[in-house]
Structure formats: structure tokens, C-alpha cells
Structure 1
Amino acid sequence: MIEEKDMALSEAQKNEFIDAYTKALLSSWSSDEYAARLESDPRAALAEVGLDLPEGSVIEITRAAADPAAAAQSQEGRLDRQVALYEAGLESGTFEFHIPATPQIDTSELDVDELAEVAGGSINCCCCPCCCCG
């Protein structure tokens, strides 16, 4: 992704990193197999989502449990910290990636009908003759 070590990320490079990091997060949250690869072979797992790291670099994956104090920190603040860690890795050759625990959806305030909509979707009829609302 980035090959020169002594430079700050351009806006395009930063966005490219954020996209790849986000894909890694979503993949680790939605696939136990990907999460296991991220632990056993982080270089290959990160390459799968578009984050190619220099050969010979050290890759550290930190899996964090849900932490109420961390949850209070803004998502943007955590992302900025991860970008800074990535930039530091470009300089040092040691990349540190924080992969938070899979977020849990709080369903305690949903009623049965709302929960059914989340689980199975809802049907909204526009009453035009082109749809099958029957």
C-alpha cells in the first residue's frame, strides 16, 4: 500500500488505509474464519482486505474485549489513533492493529414487532401497480 517510510500519509493514502482497516474489522466481526486467520497469519489476512504491509515488518494484533470506558471514546478518535499507529509502523517497521470485540446490538429497548423487523426486514408497500403487495 505505502512503500516510502519517511513520509506522512496523503489524504488518499489515509482513506485507502481506513477502507482496508474497516474491512478487516467487519470481516473479523462477521467471520470466525477470518478472525482466526488474522491471529494466525495477520499479514495474509490484512492483504485479503487490501492492506499490504512491507515484508519483514512485525505485525501485532490486539483483540480488545468490550470496555465501557473505550466505548465512551468517539469512533473517530479511535480511528485517528489507529491511523497514527499505522503511520508509526511505516517508520518503525512494527505495525500495531487494535481489533475491538464484536459490537453487540442492544435489543433490550426493542418491542417484539421492532425486533421482527430487524430480524426479517419489513415490507413497505408503495401501492403502485408495479409491486407485488398481495
Structure 2
Amino acid sequence: MEPRERAAFVSFYAKVLTAAWSDDEYAARLESDPRAALAEMGFELPAGATVRITREAGGEPDLEAQVHAWAEGIKTGRYELWVLDSPLLETRELSEADLDSVAGGDAYSCSCSPCCTST
């Protein structure tokens, strides 16, 4: 796969995963009619091509293996798309220390534009 094709696929794949994780109806359509669900995200499979959605539970995603599998599908017309389980996000509130580390604490200095005054 050429670098530009790879980048386009990775972008498409991220879009599909995000939709599947955030929209149960889309996830169900992806399972029941993957061709139509992928078309919703702007990807039309070639005529006669098939796509198999493989659900993956847990573990680390292997993007390079998915890119390779998709490239094989381009050659054979038999695509496989791995849909990982939604990642678990921590939902606790941030502490003052967390906020300080994100904001840079008291050591903030900006010199990115003429309107800023550096200290």
C-alpha cells in the first residue's frame, strides 16, 4: 500500500471505529450490513468484494496488521475489518495537581505571537 493510500485507510478506519464505539445503531449496521455501513463513512467496496467484520475483545490494537489485512483485501476482494471493543476511559474528576500539570503550573511563558508578553 502506498503511503497516501495507507494514510487514507488509517483515517477511514479511525472514523469507522469511532462511529462504532459511539453509536450502537451504527455498530449494529456494521455487523448486519458492513458494505452499507462502510459506504456511510465514505468507503465504497469494489463490486463483488466481500467484507468480514471481526470483533476483537480487549488487547492492544495492531494497526499494522489491520493495514496489511486491508491491503490483502484490495488484492483478493475479500476484506477483513477488525472492530475492537470500545476503550475504557477513566471518568474520575481531575485533582488540582492534575489540572496544574495540564495547565503548566506557574511556569507559563508564551512567546508565540507579537501580542503575548513573555516573562
Counterpart selection for 2:78 from 94, 100, 124: 94
Q: Which fold has the larger relative contact order, with Cα–Cα distance below 8 Å and residues 6 or more apart in sequence?
A: 1
Report what 1:48 is aligned to.
Answer: 40
Describe how 1:31-70 pairs up with structure 2 within 5 A.
31-66=23-58, 70=59
Describe how 1:68-87 pairs up with structure 2 within 5 A.
70-71=59-60, 75=61, 78-87=62-71
- Match of 1:114, SS? coil
Report what 2:14 is aligned to.
Answer: 22
Letter in 1 for 2:67: V
Query: Structure 2 stretches of 5 or more lacking a match?
Result: 96-119
Query: Structure 1 stretches of 5 or more lacking a match?
Result: 1-8, 116-134
Output the TM-score relative to the length of structure 2: 0.73
Seq. identity, %: 41
Output the TM-score relative to the length of structure 1: 0.65
The runs of at least 4 consecutive aligned structure 1 residues that moved more than 6 Å come to: none
